[in-house]
Amino acid sequence: MMDITGMLASRATGISVSGIRRIFDLGATLKDPINLSIGQPDFDVPEPIKAAAIDAIKNRRNGYSLTQGVKELRAAIKDRLREDLGWDTSDNETGLGALVTTGTSGGLHLAMMALLEPGDEAILADPYFVAYPNLVSLAGATPVYCDTYPDGKMTAARVEPLMTARTKCVLLNTPANPTGVVLSQVECDELAELCARRGVLLISDEIYDEFLFPESRTSLAADGKTMALPSPCRGAGTQDSVLLIRGFGKTFGLTGWRLGYAAGPRPLLREMAKLQQFTFVCAPTPLQYGCAAVAQADMQPIIADYANRRDMVVDRLSKLTDLPTPGGAFYAFARVPEKLGMTGTQFCEACIERNLLMIPGGAFSKRDTHFRLSFASPPDQIARGLDVIEEMIG
């Protein structure tokens, strides 16, 4: 019998199964669990977006697109970046201005493969999105962890001591998963300036760019009426020193469509597009046409509803333990009180016994002292989950 196990590459065997998936497996046997574990919106895809995708399917736009994406979606992306950041994303002789990717994870994977090699280092926040360290490792490089406890902020002051001659990039996520923390514009600018001064690429993962609560928006005009996400991409020259990754799945409830995009230094985007030709080929074509219609969808009522859910979670959990207030996304990252003498994993396993699913902090961190609660669930289910947590802690 052939020894397949002995043939497996270390790049695969060296990666552990996600701690999130482990919780899903543990909860699979539960009947009607209170599920506050998954980072997936609970609202439907807006009708204009669905209609545009259906129209594309019916009109036989189902074949391959250009690797860089269909022109309608790329035009919408370029308009958005010009209006929001003032970036010129036109294509020129040095490369692409914007690249449509298979989700933001696809964009990040292409970026790491185009940028990193053995001996390089990439600085990540701790806690981090679960994929980040593995994407760095798959490229043969070494993840370096920036401790952001207790406030969850990856600031220039915390990053600079970690930089070495081997540092190739810094990966920022704001609003962040798992904390929901949003950096201020000043903090974003300081980090962008540090990276540019040290010759290190800053990668800004802004998958939750539109899923931002009102108090986290920054004024972009003297009249105070133009409000947007604080981003390291807002300064002069940032288009040549910051790789921006954004997407559609979280804001518009279409995570399964797997659509994102990248913009920034054109030479890097050119190499990412080359790698995409031989891996993902292109993002799903009819769904690209659907996402070209996102400007027709008004998401503010939904985000306002999620802000109310956030307020419920913070109001009840902040009386029990420590957590940074989420400024965006739909997560709360709370510390397991020391009086319980439990790790995050032990606490979450005890919650499973009470029919509640959450993710232990160790899935996102070198520490296992916290738990992540997702409030992308109906308010009544969130309230039931908070009842369990109060019982556990109280």
- Supply the DSSP string of 59-86, one letter for each residue: TT--S---TT--HHHHHHHHHHHHHHH-
φ, ψ dihedrals at 165, nearest 5°: -65, -15
Residue with tokens 């109906």: 378
Same domain, 376 and 249: no
Same domain, 211 and 323: no
pLDDT per position as a tens digit, 327-381: 999 999 999 999 999 999 999 999 999 999 999 999 999 999 999 999 999 999 9
pLDDT per position as a tens digit, 110-149: 999 999 999 999 999 999 999 999 999 999 999 999 999 9
Same domain, 288 and 143: yes
**In the chain, count of helices (H) and strands (E)?**
15, 14
pLDDT per position as a tens digit, 254-292: 999 999 999 999 999 999 999 999 999 999 999 999 999
**Residue 276 corresponds to which amino acid?**
Q
Does residue 358 belong to any structural domain of this protein?
A: yes
Does residue 31 belong to any structural domain of this protein?
A: yes
CA 306 – CA 330 distance, rounded (Å): 7
Q: Residue 223: is its pLDDT beyond 70?
A: no
**Residue 48 corresponds to which amino acid?**
P
CA 238 – CA 51 distance, rounded (Å): 36
Same domain, 147 and 116: yes
φ, ψ dihedrals at 73, nearest 5°: -70, -40
Does residue 241 belong to any structural domain of this protein?
A: yes
pLDDT per position as a tens digit, 233-250: 999 999 999 999 999 999
**What are the residues whose beta carbons fall under 8 Å from the beta carbon of 16, sequence distance 6 or more?**
none
Q: Which domain holds residue 219?
A: 62-296
Does residue 321 belong to any structural domain of this protein?
A: yes
Domains in the chain: how many in total? 2
Burial of 47 (0-12, 13-18, 19+ CB in 10 A): exposed
